[in-house]
Structure 1
């Protein structure tokens, strides 16, 4: 019998392949019965909320790993740019595992997950504001726009990889260069 973690990992794989995957498809991916999946999660919505929580845990860990608050407190353009690059490349890596969470309506509709998303976006904005103050990011754009831009680029990269327009190994570089230098010819 698969444990809760095994069910969650199988669900992530199934949902990344097919965001509409049923509990039966999740069970098949985990190699267990649908009844066993329901022993861990009483509904598909509960499963999705748990997966959304895991994706937010990973986002929080990425912010902790680069130390956004410490960077903002002692602004250093080189360190901030390096942290921003590390953060964005980490997000690209995470979009492989948590890609469905970027656009799932159940996850996006959860009030608890939305509140936590705002807390994490606030922390992220601290880094963006510091990056603006030291000239790493444009100052003519609203600080909150950068988070939305990264989100959009992650969705675009994930979709481009999914349909075969972009190789997975190139996704990070494409997201980072699109964010930092745009898509216009220099």
Structure 2
């Protein structure tokens, strides 16, 4: 893809994220207007609304893969990596509200990264032995619940924020310290 086409595609995806967060039924024309491109350009890049939604979902998965890297899941102390990954994901949930609604589950590579993290947490004695995939599912379920808490919830204040509450709860739920 040419550089200008890549820039147009990126602008369309950014605009789609913003517009669809406010109005999930917004037209492709409205998204094109917000991106500063013609409706025809949107249709050239994305054959259908479904193709645009798929691209948003794939882009979010790429961001989740970046979380695994940024949190240094393979090398950082595992509790620290869990906390850092949680912070970054909560930032993503806030800044990409619409895309989050599209994703049913993280992609296989993201799941593998989380499973590695929970394996490392077990090896470090931070959690009781359990299947890494079970730990991942517990983590993701609790993440959804913590995300829904109002900002002024006492639990959030006591734990120092969403990531702190999530890590403390996950470690406790999985028999850790």
TM-score normalized by the length of structure 1: 0.69
1:156 matched to 2:145: yes
C-alpha distance after superposition, 1:51-91 (max 9, x if no partner): 112111111112122333345xxxxxxx1111111111111
Closer, same or farther: CA 84–58 of 1 in aligned 2, 3 Å: same
In structure 2, relative to structure 1, the CA distance for the partners of 1:137 and 1:52 (3 Å cut) is same
Structure-2 change in CA distance of 1:151 and 1:16 (3 Å): farther
Shift of 1:8: 0.8
Measure, in 1, the Cα distance between the counterparts of 2:125 and 2:144.
27
1:130 and 2:120 aligned: yes
1:14 is matched with 19
CA distance in 1, matches of 2:144, 2:172: 18
CA distance in 1, matches of 2:33, 2:143: 28
Query: Does residue 40 in structure 1 map to residue 30 in structure 2?
Result: no
Aligned residue number for residue 176 of structure 1: 167
Question: Is 2:32 aligned against 1:51?
Answer: no
Aligned-CA RMSD value? 3.1
Q: Which whole-Å CA distance do the structure 2 matches of 1:159 and 1:14 have between them?
A: 22
Residues 120-156 of structure 1, C-alpha deviation per residue, up to 9 Å, x if partnerless?
A: 21122011011012121232x4321232233233433
TM-score by length of 2: 0.72
Q: Any gaps of 5 or more consecutive residues in structure 2?
A: 1-6
Higher helix share: 1
User: Which residue in 2 is equivalent to 1:68?
Assistant: 73
Report the number of matched residues. 162
Q: Matched residues in 2 for 1:138 and 1:20: separation?
A: 45
**In the alignment, what sits opposite 1:84?**
82
- Secondary structure of the 2:107 match is helix
For structure 1, the 5+ residue unaligned runs are 72-78, 109-113
